[in-house]
Structure formats: C-alpha cells, structure tokens
Amino acid sequence: MPISFSCPRCGKELKGPDHAVGQSSKGPECGTTVTCPEPMAKQARRRGPEAEDLSTGDLIVAVLCSGIGCIAGIVWMIQGKPKGMKMVGLSVVMVVPQMVFWYLVNMMTWHIQHPHGGGF
Ligand SMILES: [Zn+2]
C-alpha cells in the first residue's frame, strides 16, 4: 500500500512504497530532501493492533523460546500480519544469546552433577 504525504517545502503530494518508511529521498519537484513518514500506523492501529505490533507476550515468547516465536512469526506472515516479519527477525536475533545461555546452563548443571568430573 503506497504512502501519501506532502512535501514539507512545496506541498506537492508525494507517494512512496511502504518499504520506504523512514527513508529519505529527493523530492521530484523541488529537490528538497523528504523523509517518508509512517502515516499508516494510526490506520493500522484502528484496523487492529494485533496485526501490526508485537505484544509483550509475543516479545517474551520470542526472547525466551525463539523456536516457537519463529514458527508463530512464519504463521503470521502467511496470514499477512505485518508483525510476523518482526517476530521472525526478533526470534532469529535471539537465537544466539539463547544458545549461549543454554550452553552456560548445561555447563553449570554438568559441574553440579559431576563435582569431581575432572578437567572438562
Ligand atoms: Zn517539494
């Protein structure tokens, strides 16, 4: 869905693709640098905040269990919910600290269970 906004300098109505949000480009008329705003955010919120933004619960799922978060994100993407992409991205990012965390947990539990386990 293209985004309509007006040039702050000459007032000409401009349109940008929705992936251009936050990106700056030169206005075609006056050459001033315009940044594509996010006018769809309010409309999306009226349409349903569920589809647009990640809730606290979604974030917890993504952080604590990125496998489930990733699957949920893919399901949402199939359903056409914009938050699906965010969920997948967050889950992928969170995989690394989780692997480190579980590695450390395994190390600690191994040492507790094998206090004389040697030089591992
Ligand atoms: Zn302009």
pLDDT per residue as tens digits for the range 37-81: 876 555 555 555 567 888 888 888 877 777 788 888 889 999 999
Query: How many angstroms separate the alpha carbon of residue 6 from the centre of ligand 1?
Result: 8
| Separation in Å, CA 98 to CA 5, 55, 58, 92, 94 | 42, 20, 16, 10, 6
pTM of the predicted model over 0.85: no
* Residue whose tokens read 């199939």: 78
Query: How many angstroms separate the alpha carbon of residue 81 from the centre of ligand 1?
Result: 33
Residue 77, classed as helix, strand or coil, is: helix
Query: How many angstroms separate the alpha carbon of residue 113 from the centre of ligand 1?
Result: 69
Task: Give the burial class of 96: count Cβ atoms within 10 A of its Cβ; 0-12 exposed, 13-18 middle, 19 or more buried.
Answer: exposed
Query: How many angstroms separate the alpha carbon of residue 63 from the centre of ligand 1?
Result: 43
Closest by CA to 41, choosing from 8, 6, 1, 76, is 1
Query: How many angstroms separate the alpha carbon of residue 34 from the centre of ligand 1?
Result: 8
Residue 4, classed as helix, strand or coil, is: strand
Query: How many angstroms separate the alpha carbon of residue 31 from the centre of ligand 1?
Result: 6
C-alpha span between 77 and 82 (Å, rounded): 7
Query: How many angstroms separate the alpha carbon of residue 28 from the centre of ligand 1?
Result: 7
Residue 117's pLDDT is 60
Handedness of CA 70, 72, 78, 84 (dihedral sign): negative
Residue 119's pLDDT is 56
Domain ranges of the chain: 3-35, 49-113
Query: How many angstroms separate the alpha carbon of residue 20 from the centre of ligand 1?
Result: 17
